[in-house]
Structure 1
Amino acid sequence: MMNKPLLLLVALTFCCCIASLHGFTLNTCRCRKTTMRPVFAKMVKKIEVTPVSGHCPRTEIMITLRSGVKICVNPEAKWFPNLLNTLQKKNAVSTPESRTASTPSF
């Protein structure tokens, strides 16, 4: 008689342990190593900045080049803010605001 409640208790404890382990994630940073070497704006296809999270304890900056190569940049790289400014200015010039005028129909 004592075996069924004990078995049930063990099974519930096991389920709770498994459920709580699911909440923990392994260190899944995308960047294993980073570079301090500058990247030219004309080579950049995309920039992804991933802030500190439960998945990775550090900020990650991943630049995808036009060639498809992905480079992880050290967030302390002094040239990175200049690259961002250059790309933002370039995007502001290449995508002007659309200005449309509408006239009432008579």
Structure 2
Amino acid sequence: MRSSTCASAAAGSALLRSRLLPLLLLATLACIANASKPIVTGELRCKCVKTTQKIHPKIIASVEVITAGPHCARNEVIATLKKGTELCLNPEAPWVKKVIQRFLDNDSPL
């Protein structure tokens, strides 16, 4: 009786292995596929801590407007100066709104 019990246990073990092996292989492949995908995350905080109150618009080379979202609760305006420096501007200031509008008008196709 002992040898039939061992044979039965071995057969059950082989059956279990034959069912688990493909499942284990599939799970391993899924982990490898997910690990190879790059995780793209942006900054999850505001870029502008403080804003510059006044600069001459002629020294601004470009303007980037970042709308409020999960990364930051407020709109942000980042001006890149002609010498390469970046400054944060107050998006509520009337002169900043004019600068943004000027850049929008210049970038629109004719």
TM-score normalised by the chain length of structure 2: 0.50
Structure 2: stretches of 5+ with no match in the other structure: 1-17
TM-score (norm 1): 0.51
Residue 64 and residue 21 in structure 1: after superposition, are their counterparts in 2 closer, same or farther (change >3 A)?
closer
CA–CA separation in structure 1 for the residues paired with 2:42 and 2:63: 24
- Give 1:71 shift: 0.8
Structure exhibiting the larger radius of gyration computed from Cα positions: 2
Q: Distance in 2 between matches of 1:10 and 1:30?
A: 39
- Alignment: residue pair count: 87
Q: 1:46 aligns with which of 41, 62, 74?
A: 62
User: What is the aligned-residue identity percentage?
Assistant: 26
Tell whether 2:85 aligns with 1:69: yes
Cα distance in 1, alignment partners of residues 69 and 37 from structure 2: 18
CA-based RMSD: 3.7
Q: Name the residue aligned to 2:15.
A: none
Q: 2:97 aligns with which of 74, 77, 81?
A: 81
Relative to structure 1, the CA distance from residue 43 to residue 20 in structure 2 (aligned partners, 3 Å threshold; closer, same or farther) is same
Q: Tell me if 1:14 matches 2:27.
A: no
Larger helix proportion of the pair? 2
Q: Distance in 2 between matches of 1:17 and 1:46?
A: 38
- Amino acid across the alignment from 2:80: T
Mean CA deviation greater in 12-21 or 75-84 = 12-21
1:8 maps to a residue whose letter is L
Give per-residue Cα distances to partners, 1:57-88, cap 9 Å, x unaligned: 55432211122211122433443113335x46
From the superposition, tell whether residues 46 and 26 of structure 1 become closer, same or farther in structure 2 (CA, over 3 Å). closer
